[in-house]
Chain A
Amino acid sequence: MILPVTIGILVAGAVYLMMQRGMVRIVFGFALLSHAANLMLLSAGVTHWRGEPLGGYGTTAEQADPLPQAFVLTAIVITLAVTVFMLALAVIGHNDDTKRMPDTGEKHDR
């Protein structure tokens, strides 16, 4: 029961944060959402908290399913990369979500 409730709270927080205007809050929202997705992946294979999925440690009946753990590892790496990029976007934008765009001397056709 703990896992579903945690996922629910994480998603609720993520949705709240992503509805905000500032880019940094949206990035935090995405961090929460990706945690929720990772926990969902874990809950697909490790709900009963069985033993480590390592060779030589018990039988396969006692061991956890290693595949979701590999999924989560991959997903975490991807989320990290995208989060860094989005934070960079938030910095480069000079807070243009709430203020006017800085005068860069560029001209646009509209």
Chain B
Amino acid sequence: MNHALLALFPVVPLLSAALTVLMRQTGFDRVFTVGVPLVSAAGGVGLLLLHRTEPVIAHNVGGFEPGIAIPLVSDTFSALMITVTSLTTAVTMTYLAATGEDKYRFVPPLALMLLAGVNGALLTGDLFNLFVFIEVMLLPSYALIAVTGTWRRLGVGRLFVLVSLLTSTLLLMGVAMLYAAAGTVNLAALAGRAADEPWTGFGVALVLLALAIKSGVVPVHTWLPRAYPATSAGVMALFSALHTKVALYAIYRIYATAYGGEAPWWPLLVVAVGLTMVVGAYSTFGERIVRRALAFQMVTGIGHILLGLALFTQVGLAAGIFYMVHHIVIMGALLLSSGAVEQTYGTGRYDRLHGLIRRDPWVAAVVALGLFSLVGLPPSSGFFGKVGLVQATAATGVPWQQWTFIGLIIVASLGSLVALQRLWVGVFFGPDMETYRPDSARTGRGERIALPPHVRIGNRLLAPGAALLVVSLAMFVGAGVVVPFTVEAAASLLDPAAYSQAVLP
């Protein structure tokens, strides 16, 4: 394969975005908004298969000297992330088509631009270029909030814009300090240097701090559970699958490559990881609205994902990466199915929804299995996600780590279990619903009226969430297929030398 083809991952979605601006037929748009992510996912699978023989491939864009050019690098980790994020994007776009949100002017091109930014950020091997691609990813997101939004969403859009911009500026300052200290922002050239040179380490730490804010690590998480649930469910599913996970990918990549081992501030990382797991799980108790509870579950999931990085063994990293893949899929499934409930009954509040288990048994089944997965019960990917983390922690052989981390996993899972039970009881048990507020994407919510028996959650609304849940179940049954890829991804993170060699031959 010609390595220059890597550039197609960001370029094809960008060009399709331009095409969908020009063409304004809904059918045409839908072919692109669903088709392009599917093509990107297929490309990701192709890369995954290619990396079995060739672990790292790199291309210096424009043919400049290695070290000066902006490199696009792909290894098993980035290929895995491209596959999962693109697949989730494709499914979410079918949901946006079902709710009619993709008919708003510019939503299809904005979503495609978002995908272009994500693919670019996953592939780039240059930290300044990472900043640019993250901006490419964020600018369409600001617009997506505003376009699909109501007045309240615009107000929250402000919070999202301000936090994101402040963080981006921090990232830029980190890159500047890194350039001043190390003389390069090429990740391959920085491999292992952050551990030896204190000022390079400071620059890298600043970059990682900015990425931690973007991904929502406690104690800098507070913007996430406020900003995300105020957008529409489809947009929130897009953001949860793409934004925080790209930031987490970058944290994994930069930490592993630049330090090549444990950072000097490793104890801080451990404290942040533990806090994130527990605070996210127990904050879920305070919420009475489905998607706000799920937003806090995102926070606790981020803690679990970063636990793999804190362990920094091959098993640990592999478990963290598996958890990340699982979390992207299952958050998508839950957000889209809770979005289907909101879309149909006009509210996501526990006290207004009840008795849905008799009305919509299939939705109840999807949500129940999704909640099982979040807590870590079989039969879903969450089981192996948590088992993997526990096993990796047990394999460290350091007693205090084993006690602390396994204890934290159990405490956080118990908190999530009880808090999500309240969600389940509130929404699905109880007497039959008698009134609802029909929701329309165009006019907002109407008056509360009597609920006629024929109003059910439609199959088109349910299908996207159910599809993602099937992926999660498949990851439970076929974990033997997925795990080798995550182990391979962890191996490539632990071998920065191979990464550097591919970029700087």
- Is A106's CB under 8 angstroms from B150's CB? yes
- Is B132's CB under 8 angstroms from A74's CB? yes
- Is A37's CB under 8 angstroms from B172's CB? yes
Cα(A33)–Cα(B170), bound, Å: 9
Q: Is B63's CB within 8 Å of the partner chain A? A: no
- Is B161's CB under 8 angstroms from A86's CB? yes
Cα(A67)–Cα(B186), bound, Å: 12
Q: Which of B151-159, B189-197, B324-332, B361-369 contacts A (4 or more CB under 8 A)?
A: B151-159
- Is B150's CB under 8 angstroms from A108's CB? yes
A23-B169 contact in complex given A43-B180, A81-B139, A104-B151, C-beta closer than 8 Å: no
One of B154, B169, B179, B445 near A109 (C-beta < 8 A): B445
Interface size class of A (residues with CB under 8 A): 35 or more
Which residues of chain B (173-190) have a CB below 8 Å from chain A?
173, 175-177, 179-180
- Is A40's CB under 8 angstroms from B154's CB? no
Q: Is B346's CB within 8 Å of the partner chain A? A: yes
- Is A107's CB under 8 angstroms from B444's CB? yes
A40-B139 contact in complex given A78-B132, A86-B161, A107-B445, C-beta closer than 8 Å: no
Which A residue's beta carbon lies closest to that of B157? A89
Q: Is B162's CB within 8 Å of the partner chain A? A: yes
Q: Which residues of A sit under 8 angstroms from B162, Cβ to Cβ? A: 18, 26, 30, 86
* A26 shortest CB reach to chain B, Å: 7
- Is B161's CB under 8 angstroms from A82's CB? yes
Q: Is A44's CB within 8 Å of the partner chain B? A: yes
Which of A43, A75, A104 lies at the interface centre, i.e. has the most chain B CB atoms within 10 A of its CB? A75
The proximity string for B residues 121-133 relative to A, scoring 1 for CB distances below 8 Å and 0 otherwise, is 0000000100110
One of B146, B168, B172, B446 near A41 (C-beta < 8 A): B172
- Is A37's CB under 8 angstroms from B139's CB? no
The proximity string for A residues 55-72 relative to B, scoring 1 for CB distances below 8 Å and 0 otherwise, is 000000000000110010
Q: Is B481's CB within 8 Å of the partner chain A? A: no
Q: Is A45's CB within 8 Å of the partner chain B? A: yes
Cα(A78)–Cα(B446), bound, Å: 40
- Is B161's CB under 8 angstroms from A85's CB? yes
Q: Which residues of A sit under 8 angstroms from B446, Cβ to Cβ? A: 107
Q: Is A96's CB within 8 Å of the partner chain B? A: yes
- Is B349's CB under 8 angstroms from A78's CB? no
Q: Is B437's CB within 8 Å of the partner chain A? A: yes
Q: Which residues of A sit under 8 angstroms from B151, Cβ to Cβ? A: 101-102, 104, 106
- Beyond A75-B131, A82-B139, 11 additional contacts (C-beta under 8 Å) are A18-B166, A30-B169, A40-B177, A82-B135, A85-B142, A86-B161, A86-B165, A92-B154, A108-B150, A108-B445, A109-B445
A residues near B (Cβ < 8 Å) are: 18, 23, 26, 30, 33-34, 36-37, 40-41, 43-45, 67-68, 71, 74-75, 78, 81-82, 85-86, 89, 92-93, 96, 101-102, 104, 106-110
B residues near A (Cβ < 8 Å) are: 128, 131-132, 135, 139, 142-143, 146, 150-152, 154-155, 157-158, 161-162, 165-166, 168-169, 172-173, 175-177, 179-180, 346-349, 352, 437, 444-446
